[in-house]
Amino acid sequence: MIYFNNVSKIYNKDSVALDDVTLTVSAGEFVSIVGHSGAGKTTLIKMILADDKPSDGTVFFESVNIHKINSNELTKLRRKIGAVFQDFKLLSNKTASENIAFAMEVAGKTDEEIASDVPHVLELVNLSHRAHHFPNEMSGGEKQRLAIARAIINQPELIIADEPTGNLDPVNAFEVLQILKKINDLGTTVILTTHNRGVVESAGKRVITLEKGKIIRDDKDGKYII
């Protein structure tokens, strides 16, 4: 699904974010990417989303060089990706249901599809009882589960979760992880970046460790070693 071919990102001679990274993520995988702050995790995610371009090398998504396509093709590609961030990025003036519905409206879904799918995804993330609440009426864990619901509502092929448990206590972090694993079990590829050892080891999936822009470890059995 995703292939990094000798990818480097050099901002200046003193700032090398990625250094000759070659990496493959297959469809249906759950991959945790770990590393200290500044290791290159965020830059790697930006490459997949085409929010940044490599200085050298190539990034492919489903055999397409994502940095060589036009804006219309890029828009279509991004619809195959759902993103979840540490700061939630929810719309404060919309309820939980409305946040999800808005994502469907942007994707051109019908009113009938919205009415059918929104309750289903709220149930999936255990937020049916919060459907009519605004983000400021929700806990951090509930906000992150809502962000996940919004990310998956249009059935993307890939979920990118960038430090989704960074602001959460262990109980809420574990619940968010369980939802991501459930999504993965349904066939969606998941890429998770995190500093949280407990989350990584609870996931029990492949772990890629970055250090100073290089992949220094790629473990299949969920070990967090830094």
* pLDDT, one tens digit for every residue, the chain (226 residues): 999 999 999 998 788 999 999 999 999 999 999 998 889 999 999 999 999 999 999 999 999 999 999 999 999 999 999 999 989 999 999 999 999 999 999 999 999 999 999 999 999 999 999 999 999 999 999 999 999 999 999 999 999 999 999 889 999 999 999 999 999 999 999 999 998 889 999 999 999 999 999 999 999 988 787 7
Which pLDDT belongs to residue 8?
Answer: 97
Tell me the C-alpha distance between 74 and 157, whole Å.
15
Which pLDDT belongs to residue 28?
Answer: 97
Tell me the C-alpha distance between 61 and 4, whole Å.
9
- Rounded to 10 degrees, the C-alpha dihedral 169/122/101/52 comes to 40
**Domain 2-219, CATH among 3.90.1660.10, 3.40.50.300, 3.40.50.720, 3.40.50.970:** 3.40.50.300
CA dihedral sign of residues 41, 149, 61, 50: negative
